[in-house]
Amino acid sequence: MHIAIFGANGATGRLLTAKSLEAGYSVTALVRSPQSFPFADRVCIVQGNAFDTSAVSKTVEGADVVFSTLGAKSPFRNENLLPRAVPLIVAAMQQAGVSRIIALGSAGARQDALTKQPLWRQWVIQRIIYNTVLKWPVREQVVQHEILSSSGLDWTMVLPSMLTNGPARGNCRIDGDALPRLAHSISRRDVAQFMFQQIGSPQWVGKSVYISD
């Protein structure tokens, strides 16, 4: 099994890289700064960024599965990262004949995210968090969801509640319809484990799925 990873040097990307290597898979990772990537001596490195068509194509070439943990780094400005990068990844996969992509998103990517929350919580999250504090990152995730769902690829987009760097709990709640009731946060370790499990599972192919503690 050969894995391609975008966002490999981020917090969740590093976890996915480690899991792939532990499973005995080969990995190609697109990274901007190989010197800061802890697995640089164990994976095939493509140096560059996700806006470079050539670098993206080299990363995807020969992959059985693509992971993407790309996302905006700042909530305070429009970085336009996913609307620019995801179409390049999709196009490279289509050209290379690679069909499986598992992408990290966020709960705000779908309009039905809050339908299982109490009304007061819907108001707070939608008005204060999605529409104000995280306005730009949420908009980017909405676009990513639109691009993947119309790509024709075997895609899965994982939509977690707030990510933490805490230990894995191993008993996360999973829901294909909406964010689980009173969902608050989830460890990146649990998210990475769930994403990794999707390699061999057809359950969420062509779908997005909510995950929380």
The hierarchical CATH code for the domain 2-212 is 3.40.50.720
End-to-end Cα distance, the chain = 30
In this predicted structure, what is the pLDDT of residue 74?
Answer: 74
* Three-state DSSP state, 71: coil
Contact assessment for residue 64 and residue 121, using Cβ atoms and an 8 Å cutoff: no
pTM over 0.75: yes
- Mean pLDDT (the chain, rounded): 95
Average pLDDT over residues 28-32: 97
**Strands, E, within the chain: which ranges?**
2-6, 26-31, 44-47, 65-68, 100-104, 154-160, 162-164, 173-175, 185-187, 207-212
- pLDDT tens, 115-129? 999 999 999 989 988
Which stretch of 36-45, 76-85, 92-101, 136-145 has the lowest confidence by average pLDDT?
76-85
Q: Does residue 136 surpass a pLDDT of 90?
A: no
Q: Does residue 178 surpass a pLDDT of 90?
A: yes
In this predicted structure, what is the pLDDT of residue 76?
Answer: 72
Nearest Cα to 14, choosing from 209, 124, 31, 65?
31
| Beta pairing, strands 207-212 & 173-175 | antiparallel
Q: State the Cα–Cα distance between residues 173 and 72, nearest whole angstrom.
A: 25
In this predicted structure, what is the pLDDT of residue 64?
Answer: 98
Q: Is 174 left (phi over 0), alpha (psi -120 to 50) or beta?
A: beta
